[in-house]
């Protein structure tokens, strides 16, 4: 067993399950945007793997851009404040925007981001998230395309991190509690 794998309690979504679901989402986007040229915006860093797979299954002409955000006051109860650490390279005015996220959790990141992007007057804006944790929501954000709805489990892999690690796992797994409990103790 390799070093990352030993921290995983169990696999939640295999590479194959992810591939199948990502292809289905791409198929829906292909149908919904037929005749248009959407711009897909990846929210860094978590969404980079999903974005790369999703765009390779979309057959429509589309463009891409990237944005990076970080929440203020890491650790303690989030103030809900979000800071842009990398803005888009292109204008989205008059464009059909699809925001691509790895996970919709409290909704803090997305409620801020969607408001900000809306103010730039796109023709339309939709949200595509691979995972949704509806039980954790504190802001009223809903995705237009959802890969999987998940319980409140500590998921990592396929772009999702814990303490910046595990993003490179090709599947999504549940982290062993001892891993994050240990980390919390050492952080004190
Ligand atoms: C994670 C995830 C989403 C966000 C969801 O990003 O990738 O962007 O949190 O949580 P929310 O709905 O409670 O806002 P994170 O801030 O950990 O940064 P990362 O993408 O670089 O891992
Ligand atoms: Mn993120
Ligand atoms: Mg993260």
Mean pLDDT of 98-113: 96
Helices 48-57 and 15-32 pack at an angle, to 10 degrees, of: 60
Grade residue 73 by pLDDT with cuts at 50, 70 and 90. low
What is d(CA 175, CA 157) in angstroms, rounded to the nearest whole number?
A: 9
Ligand 3 centroid, distance to 78 Cα (angstroms)? 14
Ligand 3 centroid, distance to 72 Cα (angstroms)? 13
Per-residue pLDDT tens over the stretch 138-172:
999 999 999 999 999 999 999 999 999 999 999 99
Number of domains in the chain: 1
Query: How remote is the C-alpha of 119 from its chain's centroid?
Result: 21
* Predicted local confidence at residue 81, as pLDDT: 80
Q: Which candidate in 7, 96, 102, 105 is catalytic? A: 105
Q: What percent of the chain has pLDDT over 70?
A: 91
Proximal ligand: closest to the CA of 152? 1
Strands 8-13 and 39-44, bridge-based pairing? unpaired
Proximal ligand: closest to the CA of 83? 1
Identify whether 7 is part of a domain. Answer: no
Residue 45: is the preceding peptide bond cis (ω within 30°)?
Answer: yes
* Predicted local confidence at residue 2, as pLDDT: 81
**Residue 116 maps to which CATH number?**
3.40.50.2020
Identify whether 51 is part of a domain. Answer: yes
Domain residues for the domain of 21 are: 15-151
Contact 83, 115 (CB under 8 A): no
Query: What number does the ligand 1 atom closest to the CA of 107 have?
Result: 12
Per-residue pLDDT tens over the stretch 5-61:
999 999 999 999 999 999 999 999 999 999 999 999 999 999 999 999 999 999 999
143 touches ligand 1 (CB under 6 Å) = no
**Other Cβ atoms within 10 Å of 115 Cβ, number:** 10
What is d(CA 79, CA 134) in angstroms, rounded to the nearest whole number?
A: 19
Identify whether 168 is part of a domain. Answer: no
Closest Cα to atom 2 of ligand 1: 103
Identify whether 3 is part of a domain. Answer: no
């Amino acid at each position: 067993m390799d070093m990352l794998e030993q921290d995983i309690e169990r696999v939640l979504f295999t590479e194959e399950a992810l591939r199948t679901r990502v292809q289905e989402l791409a198929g829906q986007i292909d149908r919904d945007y037929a005749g248009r040229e959407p711009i897909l915006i990846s929210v860094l860093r978590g969404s980079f793997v999903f974005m790369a797979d999703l765009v390779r299954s979309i057959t429509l002409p589309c463009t891409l851009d990237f944005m990076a955000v970080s929440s203020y006051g890491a650790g303690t109860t989030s103030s809900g404040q979000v800071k842009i650490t990398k803005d888009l390279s292109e204008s989205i005015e008059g464009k059909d925007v699809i925001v691509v996220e790895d996970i919709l959790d409290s909704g803090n990141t997305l409620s801020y981001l969607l408001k900000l992007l809306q103010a730039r007057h796109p023709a339309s804006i939709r949200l595509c998230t691979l995972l949704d944790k509806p039980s954790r929501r504190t802001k009223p954000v809903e995705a237009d395309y959802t890969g999987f709805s998940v319980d409140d489990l500590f998921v990592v892999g396929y772009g999702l991190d814990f303490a910046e690690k595990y993003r490179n796992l090709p599947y999504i797994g549940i982290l062993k509690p001892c891993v994050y409990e240990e980390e919390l103790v050492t952080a004190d």
